[in-house]
Every structure is written in C-alpha cells, then in structure tokens.
C-alpha cells in the first residue's frame, strides 16, 4: 500500500537572521546576519555567537507563568507566526487530534543559570531575565512540547526529542509516523534552543568553537559558533505546496562526540532519504549542509556528499548566518530549504566563507552568488549529531 504523503503548510521562525520568515528570507538572500557577533558568554573575551536581537514580547498566559523563560519566549515568537494555521487545524480536526513534537538540547538551562547568579549575557530581547521567578520546569528537557501544547490549547500527543544536533530533524520523522498511524491529523513540529553559558563553555572545552565567524568547508575552518532560535511548522496529511517526501535516519554510534570519519552512517541517512522520497540524487537541486565548520564534521560531510552526488549539487552551510542552533538546527535549516520551494523566486541560501577550499576535501558546488532552484527539483537538508545520530530530510514541491 502506498504510504500517504505528509505536507508542511506553515512556517514560523526566529533566529539571528531576523524575527519572522520575511526578515529571515531577505537576510538569507543578502547573506547578512544582524545577530551574529560577540556576546558576553564563554569567559572574559566572550564568544562569537548568533543571538536573537528582536525583543521577545510574547509571554505565556498567566496560567503558564511558571514556564516563562527566554527559551519558551523564543518558542512563542515562532508559534505566533503559525497560530492562525494551527487554530484552523483545530477547527477542522478538533484539538485532541492536533499534537506537538519538538526538539531541543538546552531547554531553559539559561533560566537556571540566571537563578544561580550566572550572567546571562544577552544584549537585547531578553524577555524574562533578572527578577523573574525561576521554576525548575523551565529547564526540564522534556517540557518544551507540553508547554507549546498548553499555550496553543492543543490536546493531542505532545513530546520532546533531545538527540543533540539532530533533535528537531528527528522530530519530523516521529511526527510523520504519528500522522501515518492515524494518531494525529495535524502536528506542530520543530525545535527551539537558547544561548546559555553551559553550552558555550562546553563546546569551548571540546576545542570546537571559533573565536570569529564560522568558516565551513574552508581550509582555515576553526570551529562552530553557537546560536539560538526556534523554528516550527504545521504538518498534516492535507495536501499543500510542500511535501515532506523523504526521511533517512541512521545511528552509527562511532564516538560520543566525533563523527565516523568514513561517513558510513551519514551516507546511509542520505541514501535512505532519497529512497524514501522515491527520487534519485539527480533530482535534488539543493542541499542544506550540516557544515559545522569543525575539522572532522566538514571532512566527513564533504566525502559523503561526493559519494552520494558524484555529479555535484548546489549546496550551502548556513550556520555562519545563524550560529549552530543545536536542537533547533534541523528545523531551522529545513525551514531555509522550505523557503526555496514555498516562495516563488526565492534564491538559494548562500554559503558564507573565505573562499579558500580545503584541498584535502572533495570539491563541492557551494552557493556563493545569487542562484535559484531549477524548476522541478527537490531539496535536501542534512543533520548530524554527537553519538553518531544522522538524519536527512527531502522536500518536494
């Protein structure tokens, strides 16, 4: 029996590029990000990171005041952009048939740091900060989805996935299964993560962070920039303009933090996504790379891409524009891929780097100038995480 398609109908986003999809699409096209820069996290010199600059005015209703923290305000800012579509789904299916599936890796750890007296370090748009009442529920790793469900009045299944940098990408796989099993008729799917001292210092201790803007696929790459943001979609079986056509997952468990240098697990995920979508590599017109700008990740991904796409494919790594949003990265970067299909005339996201290719890596067709998706082509987004978790997603117009 043919598996029913699932569709991504509406997108809400907030990150270092901007506070809504219009601002983000414009900044992507320009290759400029107002929220990238130095923040007062990670020691005396601070860290180069992606910060949401827009004021986060949305606050939970009084009945959910104990959840009020920056992480949940980022989530609310993204949810507000798709709330009309969500409420329409509730009217159509009933609130008990609409679920929530989110990914995160930090939840509200930053709120706990504030409660312990650790400086927060944001320069704008903090939302709940000094003087706010801290409740442990703010930093519970599983609280994001139930909070979102309560804020929107949804009564369907609501749970949170935390698999490091594949968290929100894996949320799409789980959400699709709920739809295909008939357990939901629609879901809010995505991810959220906020900047916090623990994450910045943790990646610094791994010697994985760059003191300047990340430089993916360059011979001079020196590590990641951490970022924050939220991205959420409305997904259902109701036909729409963008199909989530293919999902590939694998777990190679090579190392707790380093990728398998052979890229076997990553390649399995890419090929599984293509097979699931029923398309060949030649049908893909653009790939959003995971491209963290660490030595090992970029080496692995470049080799995987050269094997899966031997004829080449337009590709870019967008983390220099947002920072690595960790648990929100999969949904954020799928959002960029979605914009290339959903918006007529949209340009492909640019690959921002110094242009000095690593001669030890296979050459990739990186999008450095204005380019558009060829008609009829599909798009792909890759996510790789600690512990060997790999996810690839394919969208078709």
Closest CA to 281 of 308, 252, 245, 321: 308
Task: Provide φ and ψ at 192, rounded to 5°.
Answer: -155, 140
- Tokens 């960790």: give the residue: 326
Listing from the earlier edge strand, what are the strands of the sheet with 226-227?
Answer: 36-39, 47-50, 226-227
DSSP 185: S
CB under 8 Å to 353, separation ≥6 — which residues? 215, 216, 217, 218, 317, 320, 366
Please tell me the distance from the alpha carbon of residue 39 to that of residue 71, in angstroms, as a whole number.
17
- Tokens 């994985």: give the residue: 208
Catalytic residue among 165, 184, 196, 351: 165
* CB atoms closer than 10 angstroms to residue 182: 10
DSSP 98: E
Please tell me the distance from the alpha carbon of residue 22 to that of residue 257, in angstroms, as a whole number.
35
Catalytic residue among 9, 122, 290, 351: 290
CB 28 within 8 A of CB 17: yes
Residue 90 a catalytic site member: no
Please tell me the distance from the alpha carbon of residue 126 to that of residue 53, in angstroms, as a whole number.
8
- Alpha helix locations (H) across the chain? 21-30, 70-93, 109-115, 144-152, 167-180, 197-205, 264-277, 295-308, 319-322, 329-342
CB 174 within 8 A of CB 116: no
Residue 290 a catalytic site member: yes
Closest CA to 339 of 19, 22, 18, 17: 22
CB 390 within 8 A of CB 363: no
What residues are annotated to the active site? 165, 290, 324
């Amino acid at each position: 029996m043919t598996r029913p398609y699932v569709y991504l109908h509406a997108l809400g986003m907030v990150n270092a590029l901007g506070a809504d999809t219009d601002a983000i699409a414009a900044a992507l096209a320009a290759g400029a990000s107002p929220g990238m820069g130095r923040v007062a996290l990670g020691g005396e010199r601070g860290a180069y990171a992606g910060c949401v600059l827009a004021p986060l005015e949305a606050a939970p209703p009084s009945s959910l005041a104990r959840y009020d923290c920056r992480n949940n305000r980022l989530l609310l800012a993204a949810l507000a952009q798709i709330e009309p579509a969500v409420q329409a789904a509730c009217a159509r299916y009933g609130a008990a048939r609409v679920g929530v599936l989110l990914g995160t890796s930090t939840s509200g750890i930053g709120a706990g740091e504030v409660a312990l007296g650790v400086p927060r370090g944001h320069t704008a748009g903090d939302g709940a900060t000094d003087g706010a009442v801290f409740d442990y529920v703010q930093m519970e790793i599983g609280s994001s989805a139930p909070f979102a469900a309560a804020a929107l009045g949804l009564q369907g299944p609501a749970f949170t996935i935390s698999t490091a940098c594949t968290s929100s990408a894996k949320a799409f796989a789980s959400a699709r299964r709920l739809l295909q099993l008939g357990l939901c008729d629609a879901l809010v799917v995505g991810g959220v993560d906020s900047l916090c001292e623990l994450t910045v210092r943790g990646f610094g201790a791994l010697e994985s962070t760059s003191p300047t803007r990340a430089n993916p696929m360059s011979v001079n790459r020196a590590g990641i920039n951490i970022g924050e943001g939220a991205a959420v979609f409305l997904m259902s079986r109701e036909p729409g303009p963008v199909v989530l056509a293919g999902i590939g997952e694998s777990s190679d468990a090579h190392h707790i933090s380093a990728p398998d240098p052979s890229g076997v697990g990553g390649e399995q995920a890419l090929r599984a996504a293509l097979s699931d979508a029923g398309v060949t590599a030649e049908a893909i017109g653009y790939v959003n790379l995971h491209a963290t700008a660490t030595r090992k990740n970029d080496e692995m991904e470049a080799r995987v891409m050269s094997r899966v796409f031997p004829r080449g494919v337009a590709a870019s790594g967008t983390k220099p524009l947002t920072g690595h949003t960790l648990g929100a990265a999969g949904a954020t970067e799928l959002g960029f891929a979605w914009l290339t299909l959903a918006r007529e005339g949209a340009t492909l996201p640019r690959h921002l780097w110094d242009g000095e290719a690593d001669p030890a890596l296979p050459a990739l067709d990186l999008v450095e100038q204005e380019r558009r998706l060829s008609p009829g082509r599909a798009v792909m987004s890759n996510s790789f995480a600690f512990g060997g978790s790999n996810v690839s997603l394919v969208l078709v117009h």
